[in-house]
Amino acid sequence: MGASLPLDVEQRGQGPPLVFLHGFGASRFTFRAWADDLAGANELHLIDLFGCGAAPPPADGRYGPVEQAEVVTRYLCESDLRGVTLIGHSLGGGVAMLAAHRLHELGQADRLVGLVSVAGPAYAQAIPRYIALAQLPLLGALLLRAVGPDRVVRAVLRSIFFDADCVTGVQVEGYAAPMRNPGTRDAVIATARQIVPDRLDDLVAGFGDIGTPTLLLWGRHDHVIPLWVGKRLAHEMQRARLVVLERCGHAPPEECPQESLAAVRKFLVEIGA
């Protein structure tokens, strides 16, 4: 990996490569339940993006999804990864889709054998309330400092889970710990303000060019990236299949770790990854 890339990558296991991209305000912590299982048969690249987790901030201060996708694309090419399945959750799902399309534009689409978007954004929609709050000048940073990362994270998790009472202390600590770093808090605020890319309609139209087999994995009760997004993507993409998890909200790897992992494992077997 080039030293200039603002990523931090944990590599585990051996076999066909799986590259994981987390969501807004998160880190590779999201995929811990899947990683322990999948590392038995695959080489895992668990990425912390742009100022999240252990990753440094980008030198140019650009945190938008297009910029993130460009860096992920560079990582795949500079590492010369082939036979890759790219897996993203929430914002990471959108970044994975953008990276897949960028590889198509570069004539490098054959690096991918599979694509998994877990509740990933695509079309224009209402901004989730917790992201909208973070976008407000000064208020987002003030909330994180005054209220504290633990209380903010617990409130956000409860708002995106199907069953709010299932939020655990382990989950709260895992997502809150990086937020105690002022640099990470700044990165979260910057990401929120840049989260909707320019020319969104043009970018999404390009998803129809992606010929990579794609799994779209959604919770039935997702109020962050609603299920209609997954249904529309399944209709408009060439080789996409939608799997819907019942009694699940926006965080399948957290809320339904075994059920969501089973769907991913089945997809990997189907594509030979």
Inside any domain, residue 207? yes
CA 41 from chain center: how many Å?
Answer: 22
Domain CATH code at residue 96: 3.40.50.1820
Distances (CA, A) of 130 to 133, 135, 164, 234: 5, 9, 16, 27
For the chain, the average pLDDT equals 94
**202-240 pLDDT, tens per residue?**
999 999 999 999 999 999 999 999 999 999 999 999 999
Task: Please enumerate in sequence order all residues whose Cβ is within 8 A of that of 125, keeping only pairs 6 or more positions apart, or say none.
Answer: 225, 226, 229
Give the domain range for residue 214: 7-126+197-271
Q: Which residues pair with residue 218 across a beta bridge?
A: 244
* Beta carbons within 10 angstroms of residue 238's beta carbon: 12
Cα(223)–Cα(105) distance, rounded to whole angstroms? 32
| DSSP H/E element including 44 | strand 43-49
**101-117 pLDDT, tens per residue?**
999 999 999 999 999 99
> How many structural domains does the chain have?
1
Structure tokens at 91: 């914002």
The predicted structure's pLDDT at residue 2 = 42
Q: CA 56, 154, 242, 37 torsion: positive or negative?
A: positive
Inside any domain, residue 63? yes
Inside any domain, residue 140? no
